[in-house]
Structure 1
């Protein structure tokens, strides 16, 4: 099993952050578009090669991301479902699903009834910090991409709720 750490800077306006291993070696660099429409994120490996491109749908009632991952010809869509309580997400493509509490960032990613990875948020951290455990390393980039997309949707909802209060 591989363990990763995703930590975003508290006051980062550049929308860039790293994903590291247990020893804090950088494995991925994430770079978000600042003012582009649609909003997108590129995930780079240690050689500077884009391994995933995440694009946020502009004209969608509920948040939706399209994930283009270099290791797979099939695109993956992450779509928020309409619910009255806590948000839930559907994953379309690669036979994936999410179980657990997505909004508190404590969830499991499952493929064919087998756990491939899980995410836990660290609550006593100064910034958004997530422990990512990957059991199927062939799907590592997929798991990382899903965490980045869900974190962005969560942050947008938090910003929207804060602005309406």
Structure 2
């Protein structure tokens, strides 16, 4: 399953549209005013299905992930020199990035591929392609990618 993650061009807060392979909107992400990043994910019918909340006052960036109102895990940036690494407190997953921070691999605890994430270049806004092995993992993968994008945005 592929998802296209595209930031809206004119928006006061972080705002994204997530498209499927048929170019239908499957999720809408809206940023909310708060300390740190707070992103709320809605399905195509406008129902809230997830939330990414940045925890402030931490040494390294940390984001809590909520799905259908329930806490499911955290994403923590790990201290690394050249290639970004993220620790996920979720199903044993971990994320490794490329040196330019444009491409990421999400793997399970056995090293099995969960998803590939690549940033499309030459767009006016942040645009990522999420190639997800199991469609049931799509929302979870999306929320972790939103957290990574928010973390990168915080540095700029």
TM-score by length of 2: 0.89
Q: How many angstroms apart in 2 are the aligned matches of 1:92 and 1:137? A: 20
Contact 1:103 1:154 in 2 (8 A): no
Unaligned 5+ residue runs, structure 2? Answer: none
Task: Report the CA distance shift for 1:102/1:46 in structure 2 as closer, same or farther (over 3 A).
Answer: farther
The Cα RMSD (Å) is 1.9
Number of paired residues? 155
Alignment match, 1:14? 13
Please list every run of at least 4 consecutive aligned residues from structure 1 whose deviation after the TM superposition is greater than 6 angstroms. none
Aligned equivalents of 1:149, 1:103: Cα separation in 2: 17
TM-superposed CA distance for 1:103, in Å, is 5.2
Q: State the TM-score, normalized to the length of structure 1.
A: 0.85
Residue pairs, 1:82-97, within 5 angstroms = 82-97=79-94
Alignment partner of 2:115: what SS?
strand
Shifted more, 78-87 versus 47-56: the winner is 78-87
1:9 offset after TM fit, Å? 2.6
Gaps of 5+ in 1: 159-165
Deviation at 1:74, TM superposition (A): 5.8
Q: Is the 8 A contact 2:86 2:96 kept in 1?
A: no
